[in-house]
Amino acid sequence: MLLEGKVRLPRRRRAVVSRGRLGERLSAGTGLTLVSAPAGFGKTALLTEWLGEDGRKAAWLSLDERDNEPASYWSYLVAALRTAVPDVGAAALSLLQASRPPVEAVLSTLLNDLEAVEYDVVLVLDDYHVIERREIHDGMAFLVEHLPPQIRLVIASRVDPPLPLARMRARGELVEIRSAELRFTADEVAEYLNGVMGLALTTHDVAVLEGRTEGWIAALQLAALSMQGRDDVSGFIAGFAGDDRYIVDYLAEEVLQRQPEEVQHFLLQTSILDRLHGPLCDAVTGQVGGKDRLAAIERGNLFLFPLDDQRRWYRYHQLFADVLQAHLLDEQPDAVASLHQRAGAWYEENGDRAEAIRHSLAAKDFGQAATLIELAIPALRRNRQEATALAWLQALPDEVIRVRPVLSVSYAGTLLITHDPTDVNRRLEDAQRHLHPTDETIIVDHDEYGRLNEAIETYRAAQSIAQGNLEATVAHARQALAIAAEDSHLWRAAAAGLLGLAHWSAGDLEAAHEAWTACTTGLQASGHTADALGCAIALADIRSAQGRPADAMRTFEQALLLKPPPGEPVLRGTADMYVGLSELHLDRNDPQTATQYLAKAQALGDHLGLPQYSYRRRVALARIREAEGDYQAALQLLDEAETVYVSDYFPNVRPIHALRARVWLAAGELDKAIDWVRDHNLTVDDDLSYLREYEHLTLARVLAAQGIPVDAFLDRLLQAAQAGHRARSVNEIRTLRADPQAATTNNARKQGLIEPLSAREFDVLRLLGTDLDGPGIARELIVSLNTVRTHTKHIYAKLGVTSRRAAVRRATELELFSR
């Protein structure tokens, strides 16, 4: 007797998430459609919803383990078809009931009946994965090959059935819907949780659940069940993992317990791996055949997903992995460390040191982890992976690090680079104790150990610059240079850079430029090409402060010619070069070109910027908005820049608060600028320094705007700027002295000329105000002397003058040098 419930179309749920995108795929198919995914991915619900909306005649068969008897299977299949087409299959049923005829005879009779059907019919076989008998699969292959076009076959299964899928796929006769498509999208997750389940979750909470479950529908349902009656829903979501009791029960019952013992064993042991690869699995399990086992598990839809088209690497669904790991800890707690050690050994042998370190740490094999980390340090330093280095070092016990001087000094350097001064002294002292090795000293990287003393001195210099002690910075940096070998390019570069920072902060710009040039040379020689781009920022900023914008521009342009390491399309720091060029064009009163360069920087993205990229880009854009007269936008951008500022030890000679004060002045908001002076305790009697020069120049502007005499203050500032050869500040001071009140006025004022000067004419005009002669100006701008003469002729005509001195005087009257 046949059970009617097995051939009855399941009732549609009242509240469901619409899967229209998948319904369209189903409706467009012909021949065979395969819906294949692990348990809980909504296969049955999808098909039920689709059939209810599609309006086609549908036959449905819900299969179970008892249907592995061929006569029963085919009887139920015919019975299902008869619910949609009552007249078919009578002869086939008679054959099945009378004897054990060849299955092809039964199916031929059935197919003849189906040929006569005059309308479209969909036959759905649900849970086909329970069918294991080879003769049934053979019969299904025959049926699929000979189905008439008006009969659609849809198979829903947790595993791919052993049917001629490859041949049908090649012919275009197969529609496949798999777990990647069945997963809920972010919008569908929100619709389910907040619409269907009525949970009223925040956007953040929905996103966390969507990421944790990877759109697995059953997991979302179980999570929703777990949230019922909870007060702290957000707290539950933040900690939601595979150890939730509903997830564990579901996966244990629906997946693990259904697998053969050897498969369960493989799943548990390989659950420690983030990525699975045949040979790697063999190394971890101590067995062979890992590649074939992975392929079989993928075919079985056991929450295993390929990571490449060649199916060499896979990963488990993260919740499934969580459950497997929990079972592993319960059932084989003593095996976990050895499994991680085997994985680490395989990764080290195959050249993936990062994964080898991760597994060594997981195994608590700290000696091996420390050895691998010490060997990895040079590459981490070269690739600016300080956060990774810090995480690894913090995972090691102190007693392991203290006897390893290379790790101790690296730890100190990493703390300094990540702006965490904690324990820097202790780490440097630990390293210094082992300058002369003892019996307890452990050295792995002898090349790094050979440079230990210069590394210690260099990091002492870095520590001093962080503390604002310029004198100590210079002393330690010079000592590092004195003891470093000529071929110790990296440490010589680092020491030179720190020396440059000290000179820069002190306002000795030429000495700073010389040191930074040496730093650049050393970094390039040591292969730290990306770091050389950071030097370009320093070099260009220094030249710009010296009133040499052409040199600054040339610095950025030459940096853009540096070649990235093999395999990397663009150097990190390239985006900063375009920001620098943007600012230089702003200095030349060319906001249009400045905007174009800034767009190039933004197109590259933040990941190709150095630590201060986000800050500098916003400042540059704020300056563009200010030049356009959009002061509110400029102020908003400066506020954003302040929030993303990250110190890189470069002297902050143009602090945000002073830039903001200048925008207030330009916008006519004098009261806010006056408040700024008071809030920062600025007075004309302050001690002067290069680090505060921009603030004091801004103070002079605010005072002048109030009608307060500033001549004496400007004289002091001029003397200091001239002594430091800081031509940009000198030009600004002279402009303020010429007309103090006009120089604080709206900087968007037009030039006041019959015909505006071009950007190149501005460059020439500025240099006409220096001591350079005609050939000198030509060399500075990298143009011919005739070109300079032509530009000069045009400048004279536009200014209405006939001499160089008159041109400079007229330009000062028109405030052209302050733009």
Between CA 386 and CA 687 the distance in angstroms is 38
- Assess if residue 663 is contained within a domain: no
- Assess if residue 297 is contained within a domain: yes
- Assess if residue 476 is contained within a domain: no
Cα distances from 762 to residues 437, 552, 685, 767, 809, in angstroms, run 63, 16, 35, 9, 14
pLDDT of 343 reads 96
Q: Report, as an integer, the average pLDDT of 492-501.
A: 96
Between CA 811 and CA 413 the distance in angstroms is 50
Burial class (CB in 10 A: 0-12, 13-18, 19+), 170: exposed
Strand order in the sheet with 276-277: 276-277, 313-316, 304-306
Q: Report, as an integer, the average pLDDT of 107-117.
A: 91
Say which residues have a Cβ less than 8 Å from residue 517's Cβ, sequence separation at least 6.
539
| Model pLDDT for residues 16-40, shown as the tens digit of each residue | 777 778 888 888 777 899 999 887 7
Would you say residue 258 has pLDDT above 90?
no
Residues 741 and 761 in one domain: no
User: Where among 362, 397, 431 does a domain terminate?
Assistant: 362
Between CA 533 and CA 536 the distance in angstroms is 5
Number of domains composing the chain: 7
Token pair listed for 36: 């294949």
With cut-offs at 50, 70 and 90, classify the pLDDT of residue 301: low
**Could you give the angle at which helices 613-627 and 591-604 cross, rounded to 10 degrees?**
150
Which residues are bridge partners to 121 per DSSP? 57, 151
Between CA 557 and CA 568 the distance in angstroms is 20
pLDDT of 147 reads 92
Residues 190 and 92 in one domain: no
Residues 115 and 159 in one domain: yes
Residues 157 and 23 in one domain: yes
> For 123, phi and psi rounded to 5 degrees?
-110, 120
| Model pLDDT for residues 623-648, shown as the tens digit of each residue | 998 888 888 899 999 999 998 888 77
Q: Residue 791 in 3-state DSSP?
A: helix
User: Where among 749, 775, 793 does a domain terminate?
Assistant: 749
- Assess if residue 466 is contained within a domain: no
Token pair listed for 462: 């870095």
- Assess if residue 471 is contained within a domain: no
User: Residue 83: which CATH number?
Assistant: 3.40.50.300
| Model pLDDT for residues 789-809, shown as the tens digit of each residue | 888 888 887 887 778 888 888
Residues 224 and 347 in one domain: no
Residues 93 and 129 in one domain: yes
Q: Report, as an integer, the average pLDDT of 351-371.
A: 94
Residues 768 and 644 in one domain: no
Using alpha carbons, select from 149, 86, 141 the residue that is nearest to residue 122: 149
Using alpha carbons, select from 309, 49, 63, 275 the residue that is nearest to residue 182: 49
User: Where among 693, 726, 749 does a domain terminate?
Assistant: 749
The helix (run of H) or strand (run of E) holding residue 157 is strand 151-157
* % of the chain beyond a pLDDT of 70: 93
The helix (run of H) or strand (run of E) holding residue 576 is helix 574-587
Assign residue 42 a region: left if phi > 0, alpha if psi is -120 to 50, beta otherwise? left
Say which residues have a Cβ less than 8 Å from residue 773's Cβ, sequence separation at least 6.
none
CB 224 within 8 A of CB 49: no
Residues 26 and 164 in one domain: yes
With cut-offs at 50, 70 and 90, classify the pLDDT of residue 747: very low
Residues 400 and 429 in one domain: yes
Cα distances from 61 to residues 58, 115, 127, in angstroms, run 10, 21, 9
Residues 639 and 620 in one domain: yes
CB 522 within 8 A of CB 534: no
Assign residue 46 a region: left if phi > 0, alpha if psi is -120 to 50, beta otherwise? alpha
pLDDT of 503 reads 95
Between CA 172 and CA 258 the distance in angstroms is 34
| Model pLDDT for residues 751-771, shown as the tens digit of each residue | 455 567 777 788 888 898 888
Buried b (16+ CB within 10 A) or exposed e, 41-74: bbbbbbbbbbbeeeeebbbbbbbeeebeebeebb
Residues 736 and 767 in one domain: no
Between CA 357 and CA 376 the distance in angstroms is 9
- Report the number of secondary-structure helices (H) and strands (E) in the chain: 44, 8
Mean pLDDT, the chain, whole residue set: 87
pLDDT of 751 reads 47
Ranking 232-241, 502-511, 681-690, 741-750 by mean pLDDT, the lowest is 741-750
- Assess if residue 459 is contained within a domain: no
* % of the chain beyond a pLDDT of 90: 49
Residues 75 and 173 in one domain: yes
The C-alpha angle 335, 340, 343, rounded to 5 degrees, equals: 125
Q: What residues make up the domain containing 230?
A: 186-240
- Assess if residue 769 is contained within a domain: yes
Other CB atoms within 10 A of residue 711 CB: 11
- Assess if residue 472 is contained within a domain: no
Between CA 660 and CA 698 the distance in angstroms is 10
pLDDT of 784 reads 83
| Model pLDDT for residues 268-280, shown as the tens digit of each residue | 999 999 889 999 9
